[in-house]
């Protein structure tokens, strides 16, 4: 029943959205004249200065890690894998402990008649 209600509500929402979208369209669109954007004079001067300078530029640069960085990466990955292994072990132990606890019989505690009478009297006096 809930899926049928959800299906009807979804269909109604889609139908209403399509109906309102048709009403929300603009009657006419105004087209603006084309505009040409040019850089400012200081931007052109900066570009010319950079183009004519003696500073050499590289098309691509490859950065390789140093031996120290590679060793650090190995240590970090080993620590991460050890942490993953310990968390998996802890999860397995937790699952086993949960299973043991769940499988224990639940004790049924019933108050004695004297305790029940004392409880009723305490509740009445409140």
| DSSP one-letter code for 53 | S
User: The pTM is what?
Assistant: 0.26
What percentage of the chain exceeds 90 in pLDDT?
5
Task: For residue 92, give both structure tokens.
Answer: 């397995």
The answer to whether position 94 is within a domain reads yes
pLDDT digit string, tens, across residues 85-115: 777 777 777 766 665 555 566 677 777 888 8
Q: Which domain covers residue 95, as residue numbers?
A: 75-102
Look up residue 125 and give its two tokens. 């006096």
Domain-embedded: residue 30: no
Q: Is 85 inside any structural domain?
A: yes
Taking the alpha carbons of 116, 121, 124, 126 in that order, is the dihedral positive or negative? negative
Give the model's pLDDT for residue 29.
75
Q: What is the DSSP letter of 27?
A: S
Residue listed under structure tokens 């310990």 = 86
- Tally of domains in the chain: 1
Residue 9 lies in a domain: no
- 50 part of a folded domain: no
Tokens of 50: 């950079």
């Amino acid at each position: 029943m809930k899926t049928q209600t959800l299906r009807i509500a979804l269909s109604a929402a889609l139908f209403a959205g399509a109906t309102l979208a048709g009403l929300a369209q603009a009657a006419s669109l105004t087209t603006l004249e084309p505009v040409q954007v040019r850089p400012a004079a200081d931007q052109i001067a900066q570009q010319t200065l950079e183009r004519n300078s003696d500073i050499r530029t590289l098309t691509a640069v490859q950065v390789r890690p140093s031996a120290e960085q590679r060793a650090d990466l190995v240590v970090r990955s080993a620590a991460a894998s050890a942490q993953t292994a310990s968390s998996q072990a802890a999860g397995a132990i937790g699952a086993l402990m949960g299973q043991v606890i769940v499988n224990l019989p639940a004790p049924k505690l019933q108050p004695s008649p004297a305790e029940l009478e004392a409880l009723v009297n305490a509740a009445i006096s409140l």
